[in-house]
Structure formats: structure tokens, C-alpha cells
């Protein structure tokens, strides 16, 4: 398998390469909560970058339930023309364009003055920040049926607008994730009380969306590997959900972790035991590939915040896993957020330079962030750099400038063709053979 080989999905759709633009919350909607001109311009740059799959930032299924004032909402066809333009823009270079659809549940800013819903009336516990979120009320069965209908409606509208598929957001502590967690789901009815009942809400939405859309329209799920909270949604329960999703034959499963209360998707790990899976969930992906019934796994690479992770990926013991058996598709977040059209180019550069796909993604991510210098030194074995990362964080602006200059230099080398010549000479010096002229 190559990083640039096509990937066939269960629905029959084909993703042209193994690089995905993972979802980010852009907050760039217009006054109607529809895609703005600026948002379309951003997605054009991502399309130009060459990723095989582009997943939108979360689109809300209910305008009364928002994660922020600049969010996109798709609940009716009033502004469908703008969603059509959004899909056409992102697909203009051949990428699959999927809409991530979501409901925040209790994770709603109180400043928006919107009523918060949740499986049970359990408020967020974030210390002094708790007051920034609206206390939720427990959902009735009528509320549950309405939310299911809204997910169906948003998926149908996304299909009409020309999107290639949808990703149902069941991670990061949003509503579907809240139903999965025993900390936030205290119900004793058909939607709570046991692990099987807690996942019923998600499975009903997946089945309903699949039934409401045409064959060939992709249906994916974003799921936590764990909440990283004591007594919360555990890795064992997560694997049970994965097995159930495998039966439903979803097209793709994206692995993530954490909630607003324990933000594993952003924060530094709290202890050594969870550091590896909080970083990028490599171990979990390997296990899922064995139990997931052939599920296609999207393994997300976000901000490279842990030097130990980069060291871990280049150890000889990891070499058998560099073939990406556990992750046929790799999601890139901040590299594409920082330099939308350069991220995939840098992946290709590092891949051509002889790095395996995982390390190519890692190095491109940090390079595009302007943090490439210290991390590349660590990758090359300069252990003293690890102790200097605190210094790097204090001088991040200067490092960004240097990284930007390096990007420009590499870009010039690529455009002029000098990169290939330099690479050939480098290989000749290192490996002792004469490059072809």
C-alpha cells in the first residue's frame, strides 16, 4: 500500500489517495449560518492541496443547538445553493467531500442563550469554566426522535447539495458521545442503563441515515477511543461500539478521544500510560483492524505536541506498523489548517525523500506549523532537543518565521526542479551510488 494509492470504501466510493483533511471547527459561516465566501475560498485551497478526502468542520443539525456563533447549520433548504457551491468547490480537484454533522448536547456556550439538551441533566464540570456552559435538561423520547430526524434531514440535504458523504460526530463529548458515556447518560429507559442501550441512539442514527441516502453515498462515524475520564466511556466499551458499527457496514471510522472536560484531542497527556493513545491512538487502531469487521480506519494526526510520540514512531520495533495495517487513511489537521495547499505537498516531499508514510505525515505536520526544526532534530536522534522544547514553546513566533522561510525555500526548489537534483546528490553521498543524469 502506498500513501498515494486509491482506497475503495464499502459503499463503492473511491478515495484517490490515503490523505484526509480531518475536520476542524472553522467558525466561518455567514450571517445565515450558511457557508461564507471566505469559507469557500479556504476549501478551494484545501482542494488544490490534493487530499483524497476533505471532511468539513462540524455542521449543526439544529440551529438552536450551536457550539459557537460562527457555526454552519444545515436544517432546511433555504440556503442550499451555498452548500452546493461549497461541495463543488471542495470536489473541484477530485477529492471526496464529506459533511460532518453534529449536535453539541450539553457542550453549548451559555452566552448563546440556547437551551441545552443531554441524555441526563448532568452539567459540565470544568471548575471556574463550568459557568460558561448552559445547564442541560434531560431529553425526552420525543426529543430523541426529533434529533434522529434532524440527522436524517441534514444528511439528505447534504446529498442533494452534492456532498459525497457524511461523518456522524460521536466523539469529543458532543451529544452522541454523551449518550455513550455512563458519566453523562444516567437513563434507565431504552437509551441507557447498559452499554448496549447507551449505544442505541448512535446506531439508530447510522441506520436511518444509511436508509435515507442513495447507495454510494458514504456514511462515516467519528468515535472516541475513550473519554479519558474515570468511570466514563472506556476503551472496552468503545470496541463494543466498533463491533456494532462494523455490522452496520459504515464506510469509515475516525478515531479520536476526550471531551471538553478531558480534552485528549488538544491537551498534553496526563500520564505516561495514556500518552501514546492520546497522541494519535496507534495501538487502538491496530486492535480495531483486528476486531472491526474490515472497517476502514482514519487515523488522525493533529498537532505534534509530544516529542515522545515522534521518537516512538521511528523506533525499529515500530517498523512493521509503518505499513499502516491499522490505518489505511491518515487525517491531517493542523498542517492543513496552517498551510492549506502546502500540507499534502510536504507529505509528498518527505515521502519522496525516503520517509515511510507515517513519518512523512508527522514531519509534514510539524514542518507546516513552522515547528519542523526541533522535531526533525529529535527524529534524527538529537536527544538534547527534547529538553529544549520548553525553550521552543517560548520562542514559537521566531520558529514559525524560520519554518515559513524554509517552506518558501523548499517551494522554490520544487518549482525549479532543483529539489530532485539535490535529492539525487544526497542519496549518492549517503548510499554511495551515482545518480542517473
Q: Is residue 217 part of a domain?
A: yes
Q: Is residue 72 part of a domain?
A: yes
Q: Is residue 237 part of a domain?
A: yes
| pLDDT per residue rounded down to tens, the chain (437 residues) | 566 788 888 889 999 887 788 888 888 899 999 999 999 988 988 888 788 899 999 999 999 999 988 899 999 999 999 999 999 999 999 999 999 999 999 999 898 899 999 999 999 988 888 888 889 999 999 999 999 999 999 999 999 999 999 999 999 899 999 999 999 999 999 999 999 999 999 999 999 999 999 999 999 999 988 777 777 888 889 889 988 998 898 998 888 877 777 654 544 444 444 444 444 456 666 666 665 555 666 655 433 322 233 333 333 333 333 333 334 555 555 445 545 545 555 566 655 555 655 556 555 655 554 444 444 444 444 444 445 545 555 665 666 666 667 667 766 665 555 655 555 554 444 434 443 33
The number of domains in the chain is 1
Half-sphere exposure of 71 (CA within 13 A, CB side): 26
CATH of the domain at 159: 3.20.20.70
Q: Is residue 99 part of a domain?
A: yes
Q: Is residue 50 part of a domain?
A: yes
Q: Is residue 411 part of a domain?
A: no
DSSP result, 267-334: SPPSSHHHHHHHHH-HHHHHHHHHHSTT--EEEEE-----HHHHHHHTSGGGGGGGG-TT-SEEEE-H
Q: Is residue 397 part of a domain?
A: no
Q: Could you list the residue range(s) of the whole structural domain that residue 97 is in?
A: 7-267
Cβ neighbours, 10 Å, residue 159? 20
Task: Report whether 333 contacts 324 (CB < 8 A).
Answer: no
Could you tell me which residues come within 8 angstroms of residue 345 by beta carbon, excluding any fewer than 6 positions away?
49, 50, 411, 414
Q: Is residue 325 part of a domain?
A: no
Amino acid at each position: 500500500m502506498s500513501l498515494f494509492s486509491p482506497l475503495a470504501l464499502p459503499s463503492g466510493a473511491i478515495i484517490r489517495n490515503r490523505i484526509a483533511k480531518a475536520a476542524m471547527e472553522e467558525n466561518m459561516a455567514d450571517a445565515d449560518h450558511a457557508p461564507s465566501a471566505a469559507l469557500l475560498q479556504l476549501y478551494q485551497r484545501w482542494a488544490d492541496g490534493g487530499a483524497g478526502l476533505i471532511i468539513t468542520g462540524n455542521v449543526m443539525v439544529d440551529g438552536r443547538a450551536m457550539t459557537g456563533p460562527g457555526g454552519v447549520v444545515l436544517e432546511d433548504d433555504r440556503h442550499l445553493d451555498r452548500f452546493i457551491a461549497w461541495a463543488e468547490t471542495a470536489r473541484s480537484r477530485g477529492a471526496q467531500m464529506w459533511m460532518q454533522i453534529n449536535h453539541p448536547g450539553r457542550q453549548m456556550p451559555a452566552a448563546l442563550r440556547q437551551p441545552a439538551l443531554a441524555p441526563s441533566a448532568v452539567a459540565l464540570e470544568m471548575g471556574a469554566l463550568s459557568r460558561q456552559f448552559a445547564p442541560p435538561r434531560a431529553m425526552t423520547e420525543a426529543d430523541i426522535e426529533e434529533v434522529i430526524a434532524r440527522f436524517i434531514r441534514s444528511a439528505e440535504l447534504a446529498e442533494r447539495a452534492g456532498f459525497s458523504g457524511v461523518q456522524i460526530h460521536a466523539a469529543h463529548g458532543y451529544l452522541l458521545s454523551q449518550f455513550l458515556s455512563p458519566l453523562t447518560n444516567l437513563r434507565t429507559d431504552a437509551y441507557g442503563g447498559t452499554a448496549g442501550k447507551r449505544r442505541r441512539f448512535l446506531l439508530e442514527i447510522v441506520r436511518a441515515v444509511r436508509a435515507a441516502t442513495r447507495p454510494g453515498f458514504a456514511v462515516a462515524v467519528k468515535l472516541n477511543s475513550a473519554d479519558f475520564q474515570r468511570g466514563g466511556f472506556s476503551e472496552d466499551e468503545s470496541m463494543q461500539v466498533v463491533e456494532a458499527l462494523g455490522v452496520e457496514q459504515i464506510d469509515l471510522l475516525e478515531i479520536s478521544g476526550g471531551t471538553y472536560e478531558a480534552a485528549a484531542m488538544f491537551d498534553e497527556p496526563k500520564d505516561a500510560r495514556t500518552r501514546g493513545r492520546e497522541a494519535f491512538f496507534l495501538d487502538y487502531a491496530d486492535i480495531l483492524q483486528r476486531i472491526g469487521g474490515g472497517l476502514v480506519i482514519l487515523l488522525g494526526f493533529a498537532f505534534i505536541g509530544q516529542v515522545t510520540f515522534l521518537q516512538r514512531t521511528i523506533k525499529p520495533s515500530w517498523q512493521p506498523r509503518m505499513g499502516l495495517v491499522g490505518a489505511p487513511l491518515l487525517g491531517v489537521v493542523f498542517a492543513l489548517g496552517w498551510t492549506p495547499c502546502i500540507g499534502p505537498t510536504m507529505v509528498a516531499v518527505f515521502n519522496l525523500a525516503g520517509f515511510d508514510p507515517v513519518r512523512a505525515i508527522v514531519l509534514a505536520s510539524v514542518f507546516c506549523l513552522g515547528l519542523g526544526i526541533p522535531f526533525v532534530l529529535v527524529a534524527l536522534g538529537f536527544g538534547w532537543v527534547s529538553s529544549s522544547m520548553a525553550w521552543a514553546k517560548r520562542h514559537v513566533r521566531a520558529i514559525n518565521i524560520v519554518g515559513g522561510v524554509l517552506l518558501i525555500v523548499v517551494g522554490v526548489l520544487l518549482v525549479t526542479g532543483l529539489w530532485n537534483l539535490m535529492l539525487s546528490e544526497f542519496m549518492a553521498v549517503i548510499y554511495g551510488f551515482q545518480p542517473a543524469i
